[in-house]
Amino acid sequence: MSEIPLEHYSISMDEPLVVYGGGQIGIAAAIRLMDSGYNVAAILDKHPDGVKDSPVIVLTPEKYFSVNGDAFVFVSLGDGIVHTSVARRLVAAGFTRVLFLPLFLGSKSAISMVHSWNEFYCGEYGVSIPAYDSLWNVSLEDFILHEDNSESVVVVVHKEYVRTLEVATKPNPYSDFVRIPDSVLPYVDKPISDVSCFSKNSADLDSFLQRSLHYNPHDFYTCCAAPSTLNEKGYFNLIDGSHRCCYMVEKGFHGLPLRVEKAQWESFFKERQAQELMNHCKSLDTLPLAVHHPAFVKLPYSERIPEKEFLDLFHSLNRPGWEE
């Protein structure tokens, strides 16, 4: 077998491949691959004895690897939420090439893997597949939605790092928020999630969204991202767009699209420290606490006492609020 490329690879018909998942979805995927001329060597499942009507031998991942060594693995399970945990166990067993749905990672490589999985499942077997290790690379560029020539970027920031001002109620609900002057940017200890929304504001936006954004709300929020600036405490002060951010929080969104200076995004993101923490988290099925840094915000967590190594790496990010 030829050496595996560092970042991407594809599957040939000559090499053995295995399908993880002994249910109807996995067996159907194995049959389609065989009918297309691919060398399906086995189906992998944690309970081989419970798999019925398999066209090939069924083994646990550990048993297959101990007898046959490495092979490309296509994770074919209906529940995409468990794919990442399964992939971790396959890699721990020794497999180096695994195609699965990395739904909890936000890297461009992980997004590419999701597209590759869907194409492969639909019969595009020659698709280019990102290498497993590349999925865990942390780059601040991967979390930029839009960049222009003004040295500003549009990014998504967890609501807990967004600050605004609330003033006395006035007849116009939009005037209940004030624009923070560009020259005066005080630290405001009031998260946007603590600001009350108003029924008229919400109703107006609901109506607008229903009329105008049925097909592409992503473009709307990218174009209308709230201008913000990073204050000395490490939070983003809203310069404008409080009503839009408040509306999104009311609708249950945790991430808010902001327009910020790229230099401030770099300062907030802390790419090197984030990568060091991600390298540690790579082997964890769940984090011991919720981390609200953009690269970690989708990773599942199960509250427990963190290990010292995790806490040291976590605190090296030096950003308040990245835990519940």
Encode pLDDT of 50-64 as tens digits: 998 899 999 999 999
Q: Which pLDDT score, from 0 to 100, does residue 47 have?
A: 93
Residue 180 binned pLDDT confidence (cut-offs 50, 70, 90): very low
Q: Which pLDDT score, from 0 to 100, does residue 187 have?
A: 44
Residue 199's contacts (CB-CB under 8 Å, 6 or more residues apart) are none
Encode pLDDT of 208-254 as tens digits: 666 665 556 667 777 788 889 888 888 898 888 877 888 888 888 89
Q: What is the pTM of this model?
A: 0.82
Beta bridge partners of 200: none
Encode pLDDT of 101-120 as tens digits: 999 999 999 999 999 999 99
Q: What is the distance between the alpha carbons of residues 241 and 260, in angstroms, rounded to a whole number? A: 13
What DSSP assignment string belongs to 7-51? SEE---SSSEEEEE--SHHHHHHHHHHHHTT-EEEEEE-S-GGG-
Q: Which fold has domain 8-136?
A: Rossmann fold (3.40.50)
Give helix then strand counts, H and E, for the chain: 10, 13
3-state helix, strand and coil shares in percent for the chain, rounded to the nearest 5? 40, 15, 45
Q: Which pLDDT score, from 0 to 100, does residue 233 have?
A: 82
| CATH 3.40.50.20 domain position(s) in the chain | 8-136
Q: What is the distance between the alpha carbons of residues 78 and 70, in angstroms, rounded to a whole number? A: 24
> CB–CB of 291/314 below 8 Å?
yes
Range scoring the smallest mean pLDDT among 1-5, 84-88, 269-273, 279-283: 1-5
Range scoring the smallest mean pLDDT among 69-78, 161-170, 301-310: 161-170
Residue 298 binned pLDDT confidence (cut-offs 50, 70, 90): very high
Looking up tokens 């969204």, which residue turns up? 209
pLDDT above 60: residue 3? no
Q: What is the distance between the alpha carbons of residues 33 and 27, in angstroms, rounded to a whole number? A: 10
Range scoring the smallest mean pLDDT among 48-62, 136-150, 296-310: 136-150
Which one has a higher pLDDT value, 38 or 214?
Answer: 38
Q: What angle do CA 223, 261, 158 make, to 5 degrees?
A: 70
> CB–CB of 310/299 below 8 Å?
no
Neighbours of 186 (CB within 10 A): 12
- CA-based radius of gyration for the chain: 24
